[in-house]
Structure 1
Amino acid sequence: MAELIIPGPQGRIEARYTEPPYPGAPIALVLHPHPKAGGTMQDPISIMLYQMFERAGFGVLRYNSRGVGRSQGVYDQGIGELEDAAYVLDYIENLSESPRYVWCAGYSFGAWITLQLLMRRPEIDGFLAISPPANHYDLSFLAPCPASGLIVSGDADSIASPEDVERALTKVRVQKGEVIERAKVKGANHFYVDKRDELIELCEQYLLKRLEDAEEKLRLEAEED
C-alpha cells in the first residue's frame, strides 16, 4: 500500500493506494463516512472494505475528501465531495491498464456519494452501499440505476434505518438486466459495533459471486464466438 497525494479540484487529496496485481486487474474506489461526523479514510469499515478488495485481487484506492486529514479545501455539502470522487476515479483509472471491472464502495455518507457517482460514470460495474442515510438524503436520483449492487443496513440502525432505505428504494428504478440486492446485518447499529466482520463477510460473498458470474458469462460468450 502506497501513500499518495493527488492534485485535486481544491488542492491536494490524501490517499492510500494498492496497485492492481496484474495488467487488466479490476479496480475499486472506497469512500468514507461524513466529514462533519469525523469520517475519514481511516474509518474502520472503510479500511476493511479496502482490504476486502485487496484480497479479491483489485487495485484499490481510498482517500480523504476535501478538508479531511491532509486533503485541502472545505466541506461542500456533498457537491464538492462528489466532484472529488469523480476526479479520484479518473485518477485511479489512469493509473490502471484497461481494468477488467470498476467497482465503488462507500459507507454512510460515502454510500450516498457512491450511488450518485455511479449515475454519472457508466464504466462502474458494481457497487456496495453500506448504510446509506436515506432519511437525510433523497435516493430518487437513481432513475434508473445503471449498475447492479448491494445495499446493506444494520437492522438496529437508528441513524439510517433499513425502513428508510426500503421506502427510498420504492421510488428507484433499475436498468434492464441490473439488480439492486438488499441485505441486513442482524443486531448491527450504524457503526456495526461487534458486527464488522459479519458485514465484510456478507459484502465479500456478494463481490466474489458477482466476479464469478461475470467470468462465467465471458467464458460462455467466448465459446459462442
Structure 2
Amino acid sequence: MPEVMFAGPEGRLEGCYHHSENANAPLALVLHPHPLHGGTMNNRITYTMYRRFQEMGFSVMRFNSRGVGRSQGRYDGGIGEISDAAAALDWMQMVNPNSTELWISGYSFGAFVGMQLLMRRPEISGWISIAPPANDYDFGFLAPCPCSGLMIAGGKDTMAPEGSIRKVVEKLNTQKNVTVDYRIFDQADHIFAKQADLVADALEDHVLVRQAEFRATAQAAG
C-alpha cells in the first residue's frame, strides 16, 4: 500500500494512495475522524472504507490532516482541515487527469470536512457520511446540496445522535434533485465496533446504484 507525501497549505501531508489498474478509474477520498480525539487515516472505519473502494476498482486515498502522524502543521478547528482535504483532492486529480467520477467519504469529523468540501468542489459526483457530528456542527451550509449521497447513523450513538442526523437528512431530502440514502444501524454506537463490514457493504451498495444512474443518464443524454 504505497505511502505518499504531498504539498498541503501548511506543509507536507502524509497519505496512503492506491492507484487502480483500471483506465480512468473513479476516484475516492476518505477522511478520518477528529484529530484531537485520536482520529487518523488508520482509524478502522476509515481504513475499511478505503479498502472497499479499492476492491471496487477505485483509485483511492486516505490521508492524515495537519498535525496528525507525519503531516506537518497544527490542528485548525476544521477550517484548515478542509483546505487539507482540498489539497488531497488536487493531488489525486493531478495524478488522474482523465477520471470523470469523484467520491468524498468521511467518518465523524471527517464527514463534516467532506460535506464542507462537497460545497466547494462542483465536480464531486457523490458522498458518503458516516456518523456526521450534527449535534456539534451546523450542517445548514448544505443549501443547496449539490448531489445525492449516503448517510449512516448508529442507533446507540451518543456523540452523533441519530435524531440530530435525521434532521439533516430530512432537510436535504426537501431539496430539488437531492435524495439521501439514509441507513440506521440500530446496535451501533459512534465507534461502529461490530459494524465495519456493514458500513462497507452499505457504501458499495449505494455507490453501485448511483453508478448505474450515472450510466443511464449518460446514455439518455447521448
Q: TM-score range by the shorter chain?
A: over 0.9
Which consecutive unaligned segments of at least 5 residues does structure 1 have?
A: none
Aligned to 1:84: 84
| Structure-to-structure mapping, 1:1-225, within 5 angstroms | 1-172=1-172, 176-222=176-222
Unaligned runs of 5+ in 2: none
SS in 1 for 2:74: coil
Q: Answer with 164-173 or 8-17: which moved more.
A: 164-173
The separation in 1 between residues aligned to 2:132 and 2:188, in whole angstroms, is 14
Pairwise CA RMSD of aligned residues?
Answer: 1.4
Residue 182 of structure 1, CA deviation: 1.0
Q: What one-letter code is carried by the residue in structure 1 that aligns with 2:185? A: V
CA shift, 1:172, in A, is: 4.3
Would the aligned equivalents of 2:150 and 2:180 in 1 still touch at CA under 8 Å?
Answer: yes
Does the aligned pair in 1 maintain the 2:169–2:180 contact within 8 Å? no
Kindly state the Cα deviation for residue 12 of structure 1 after the two structures are TM-superposed. Answer: 0.8
Question: What SS does structure 1 have at the residue aligned with 2:80?
Answer: helix
Closer/same/farther in 2, CA of residues 178 and 168 from structure 1, 3 Å limit: closer
TM-score, normalised relative to structure 1 = 0.94
Q: Deviations over 1:3-28 (max 9, x none)?
A: 10112111110000011323321101
What is the one-letter code of the residue matched to 2:152? V
3-state SS, counterpart of residue 67 of structure 1: coil
Moved more, 19-28 or 173-182: 173-182
Runs of 4+ that moved beyond 6 A: none
Q: For 1:180-222, what per-residue CA distance to the aligned partner results, in whole angstroms no more than 9, with x for missing partners?
A: 2211112011111111111211121111111122123323333
SS in 2 for 1:30: strand
For 1:174 and 1:167, how far apart are their aligned partners in 2?
11
Amino acid of the structure 2 residue aligned with 1:73:
G
Alignment-mate amino acid for residue 134 of structure 2: A
CA contact (8 A) 2:172 2:180 kept: no
Deviations 1:119-168 (A, max 9, x none): 00000000000000000000000011001101100111111011011223
Aligned 8 A contact 2:139 2:168 in 1: yes
Q: Sequence identity of aligned pairs in percent? A: 43
